[in-house]
Amino acid sequence: MRLSNGEVLLHWPLDIHVLTQGWYYNDGSLHQAVDLRTQIDNMYIRPVYAAEDGTVDQTQDWDGHTRTGMQSYGNMVRIRHADYKSKTLQTRYAHLSSYCVKYGQRVKEGEIIGYSGVTGNVFGAHLHFEVILGGKRTNPLVWLDSNFTTASGQVFTYRAGEHAVQQPEQAASGAQTAQNGTGKLQVITVGPVSQGDADAVFAVCQSRGLTDAGLYKSEWV
């Protein structure tokens, strides 16, 4: 989604956020993507979600044996999102067991586009996820929040100067204040108001995350 400060916060493509390989492989070679764990017990087929609203601009069916070139991705989906700073923004989802979208289809953020698998050039079940800006791959972790763990201490995360997406200062600081009880809260009392005005105020507070953060309260008198 697009934040109020113009930045992009992508939706995690899996419900499980465990990195097994980062921008660099664990052996130090360049990966230019992240791999996300899908294997839990005996199950590795899991829903894969669109990272943001967009249009499917490429799909690929694995030929079952070729492990070089584009076929190394196996069954694959690529989505084009709205431009970012006048550059094309795309996400790629690879090694799928299957996909359920087609070329040219509009998809919504969080919509299921396929299922993880072991197709293409893989040594175990995982989801290969790329973020492509202006035709060049970028570290996916700088487009996501920090809600992830790594499979081991060898997994690469950020290069110097890189970090997870940060929420706009106003919303982030307000939520943090409500959570830890520090800082000063300014109390603004409005009323009495009509039910219609009360509903309108509530809608504004809800849209700004104030209700979830505990910063809005309504009382009957």
Q: pLDDT-based confidence at 182, cuts 50/70/90?
A: very low
Q: What is the pLDDT of residue 145?
A: 97
pLDDT (tens digit, 9 = 90+) per residue, 43-59?
999 999 999 999 999 99
Q: What is the pLDDT of residue 24?
A: 97
Contact residues for 68 (Cβ-Cβ < 8 A; gap 6+) = 121
Q: What is the pLDDT of residue 203?
A: 64
Q: pLDDT-based confidence at 169, cuts 50/70/90?
A: confident
The overall pTM is greater than 0.95:
no
Q: pLDDT-based confidence at 177, cuts 50/70/90?
A: very low
Q: What is the pLDDT of residue 66?
A: 80
Cα 77 to Cα 24, 81, 114, 156, 172: the distances in Å are 22, 13, 8, 25, 33
Higher pLDDT, 24 or 172: 24
Q: What is the pLDDT of residue 109?
A: 98
Specify which residues 131 forms β-bridges with.
91, 138
Q: What is the pLDDT of residue 20?
A: 97
Name the DSSP class of 25. -
From 122, 20, 133, select the one nearest 86 (Cα to Cα): 133
Residue 79 CB-density burial (10 A; 0-12 exposed, 13-18 middle, 19+ buried):
buried
**Domains of the chain by start residue, with CATH:** 18-150 (2.70.70.10), 172-207 (no CATH)
pLDDT (tens digit, 9 = 90+) per residue, 67-118?
778 999 999 999 999 999 999 999 999 999 999 999 999 999 999 999 999 9
CA distance 209 to 150: 29
Mean pLDDT value of segment 152-177: 79
